[in-house]
Chain A
């Protein structure tokens, strides 16, 4: 099913990733040999070296692996969060947690992905998961 989706989305992994984001979908390449997802998207599995990959959807569930507050003067937009989120399926990505103050983001927090459109470019951000 994923191959139908991706065929007309451009050929490179970055384009494919972005095209999915543009449709509000979080897809990543999954290795058909070792069954691991990886991020950022490549043409080769960095876990085992296989080139046999398939784009698959992720749950969007993850956990904050580490977090920092970047201090910025209020007149320049104020403090903001930068964090690393480990997705339930394994890969880790940089992102930020929206919906709570930057200072309140804690390592181990359960978070859920959403896709935002920022000046025409789509990015994955996270917010605290509702259920425990």
Chain B
């Protein structure tokens, strides 16, 4: 029997703003512009929004700050904070709130000025007192330790990781709004400055500004709006640790669980998926998540991503906007993978459009491979 939440809500509007550089803007300015664009897209007004789902590294009480800025008095607010995966997690909470009538129009939103504010990762995070004495560089050292272990256990190579960055760049070159669109070769990645072995500069995501917003409504109303509705078929969340020291096995992420949960709710398998959007904060992420989500066996992710298999024209389209590596990455990237998946399913992606996309998988990552949230979205054809 289908899960009660399967297909119970739909995305009817998306908006981006300030991606790249948004000089002079504060995080909430960018969030509000993205919200404006999403509302326009859906044919709605701010006064229609009665549910807010948001997260921030800038605001201790982001639900309060966001609603105040936008001048709305939401009936329902959720600020679940699982790092960059938060916005993917918000889709599940929004679906629950919409299904139970706690709100009628849910706004999932984010904005950040990380690049123009100086490039530093804004954080209200507490210090990890058992790690800090050894001066790890956050977050890269944690991902470097995972990459080193994956290389050790499975023979994954720096060349294979470089191919993740090259594939992302090739997608970005098809996306006029991507931030980094210059030519990029495997050698460029291998020869870039080493930061925390085995990860070099071009194994790391961009630092940009940017904001995104997604409008969700109950599916019964989904056809009252101008766009083709995109249905939320399933979301699964999982978390196994907070600090890298506590990750049970550095080669396996909690996406193993979040993926299974999302597929179970959606009643689909990986063979049904047409397009995949993964949180690629570092090149190793893409490899780990493809394995843990079942697109290839554990240990075979390196071979799977090599030689253009996830690039345009390859076997599986992954990170079609150019990813956090080449499109946009303003601190917490989760909302952007969601928006790219929705745009692919709507058929709005121009040169990078994957033909006949009916099912998209999104996997958000938060912390240091800590929180994993998988969402599966689809068109009416798979409802």
Q: Do A and B come from one complex?
A: yes
Q: Which residues of A are interface residues toward B (Cβ below 8 A)?
A: 14, 39-40, 65-71, 80, 82-84, 92-96, 103, 107-108, 118, 121, 123
Q: Are B148 and A82 neighbours in the complex by a CB distance under 8 Å?
A: no
Q: Which residue of B lies closest to A116 (CB)?
A: B133
A69 vs B198: C-alpha distance in the bound complex, in angstroms? 8
Residues in chain B near residue A123, CB distance under 8 A: 133-134
Q: Are A94 and B131 neighbours in the complex by a CB distance under 8 Å?
A: yes
A83 vs B196: C-alpha distance in the bound complex, in angstroms? 11
Residues in chain B near residue A92, CB distance under 8 A: 245-246
CB proximity of A84 to chain B, nearest CB, Å: 6
* B contact residues, range: 20 to 34
A5 vs B145: C-alpha distance in the bound complex, in angstroms? 36
**Is the C-beta of B193 less than 8 angstroms from some C-beta in chain A?**
yes
A55 vs B115: C-alpha distance in the bound complex, in angstroms? 47
Given contacts A92-B245, A96-B134, contact A14 B193 (CB under 8 A): no
Q: Which residue of A lies closest to B129 (CB)?
A: A14
Interface residue from B137, B145, B246 paired with A66 (Cβ < 8 Å): B145
Q: Are B149 and A39 neighbours in the complex by a CB distance under 8 Å?
A: no
Q: Are A82 and B135 neighbours in the complex by a CB distance under 8 Å?
A: yes
A107 vs B146: C-alpha distance in the bound complex, in angstroms? 12
Q: Are A69 and B149 neighbours in the complex by a CB distance under 8 Å?
A: no
A39 vs B128: C-alpha distance in the bound complex, in angstroms? 13
Going nearest first, the 3 A-B pairs with the smallest beta carbon separation are A68-B144, A66-B145, A66-B149
**Is the C-beta of B382 less than 8 angstroms from some C-beta in chain A?**
no
Q: Which residue of A lies closest to B195 (CB)?
A: A71
Q: Are A71 and B193 neighbours in the complex by a CB distance under 8 Å?
A: yes
Given contacts A84-B244, A93-B245, contact A68 B197 (CB under 8 A): yes
CB proximity of B143 to chain A, nearest CB, Å: 9
